[in-house]
Amino acid sequence: MTATVPPRALATLPLGDDALVLSHRLGEWAGHAPVLEEEVALANIALDLLGQARAVYAELAEVLGSEDEIAFLREEREFRNCQLVEQPNGDFAHTIVRQLFFSSYQQPLHAHLAPSLPLAAKAVRETAYHRDHAEQWTLRLGDGTEESHARTQRAADALWRYTGELFQPIEGLDVPWEELEEEWSATVGDVFARAGLTVPTGPRRDAWSAGAGREGVHTEPFGRMLAEMQHLHRSHPGATW
């Protein structure tokens, strides 16, 4: 459905897909969180993100159809989210580092877009809160117990390879990408330093390590995620829910 549309008309689609996919992943935590207070916190973030996705899809309705068509009827290769957000939850440290990496990107990205994009202006307040959530937890896990430190470092090392993709320019979005990456590196570096964690040095830009989610190339877990997310909707073509 996206193949025939000029890319500039779809400039915001990656923002919506990032938000939808991460929201879905956070939704998988329901009933599994390490403490009840965190059930509420993770759900709040998931709901914010879902709201952001719906706002993006609403504006794309003329080009792509209803929000549900966009979410439930596109094929995997039509999704434009980065690979970072589709990564499975793993343990709580894995989820928190994913949150830190993503929110440290999404927050300044929305800030850059806010003047020209109303939906980014609304989201920027939410994402600042998400970033703080991730930061507070990274500090506690990194500088908590030996076990929590090891788990968090492991998560950072594993997710690092998906961070290079974040700064590949998205056509049609007026963002100073290099500046964005500098901001991101400063934020993550600062939080890691205070948490006693080491910023990974592994590859994130090489041809074989760089993610290509923005071009519709995803990792294996994403297909399974979509299968679960879309199955009911697709089982009843044309039905209203």
Partner 1 sequence: MTPVTTPSPSRRAEGPSGTAEGPGPEEEQALQARFDAAVAAEERIEPRDWMPDAYRATLVRQIAQHAHSEIIGMQPEANWITRAPSLRRKAILMAKVQDEAGHGLYLYGAAETLGVSRQELLDKLHEGRQKYSSIFNYPTLTWADVGAIGWLVDGAAITNQVPLCRCSYGPYARAMVRICKEESFHQRQGYELLLALTRGTDAQRAMAQDAVDRWWWPSLMMFGPPDDESAHSARSMEWKIKRHSNDELRQRFVDICVPQAEALGLSLPDPDLRWNEERGHWDFGAIDWEEFRQVLKGNGPCNEQRLARRRAAHENGAWVREAAAAHAAKHAAGGPRRSATAPAARSRA
Partner 2 sequence: MSADWPLWEVFVRSRRGLSHTHAGSLHAPDARMALRNARDLFTRRSEGVSLWVVPSSAITASSPDEKDPFFEPAADKPYRHPTFYEVPEGVRNL
Return the exposure string of 191-223: e unless at least 16 CB atoms fall within 10 Å of the residue's CB, then b: bbeebebeebeeebeeeeebbebbebebbeebe
Taking CB under 8 A as the criterion, the residue among 41, 123, 141, 188 binding partner 2 is 41
# residues contacting partner 1 (CB under 8 A) = 49
Q: What, of partner 1, partner 2, none, does residue 27 touch, CB below 5 to 8 Å by kind?
A: partner 1
Part in contact with partner 2 (CB under 8 A); list of ranges 6-14, 36-44, 55-63, 117-125: 36-44
199 and 121 Cβ atoms separated by less than 8 Å: no
Taking CB under 8 A as the criterion, the residue among 59, 76, 78, 91 binding partner 1 is 91
Task: Give the footprint of partner 1 on residues 113-142 (CB under 8 A).
Answer: 139-141
How far is it, in rounded angstroms, from Cα 147 to Cα 145? 5
Which residues lie below 8 Å from residue 168, measured CB to CB, with a gap of 6+? Answer: 177, 210, 214
**32 near partner 1, rule: CB under 8 A:** yes
Select 20 or 82, whichever has its Cβ closest to partner 1.
20
Q: What, of partner 2, partner 1, none, does residue 68 touch, CB below 5 to 8 Å by kind?
A: partner 1
Taking CB under 8 A as the criterion, the residue among 136, 147, 194, 196 binding partner 2 is 136
**132 near partner 2, rule: CB under 8 A:** yes
Taking CB under 8 A as the criterion, the residue among 58, 68, 77, 145 binding partner 2 is 145
**76 near partner 1, rule: CB under 8 A:** no
Query: Site residues (CB under 8 A) for partner 2?
Result: 35, 37, 40-41, 44, 132-133, 136, 140, 145
Query: Site residues (CB under 8 A) for partner 1?
Result: 20, 24, 27-28, 30-40, 43-44, 46-47, 50-51, 53-54, 57, 67-68, 71-72, 91-92, 139-141, 143-145, 147-148, 151, 228-229, 231-233, 236, 238-241
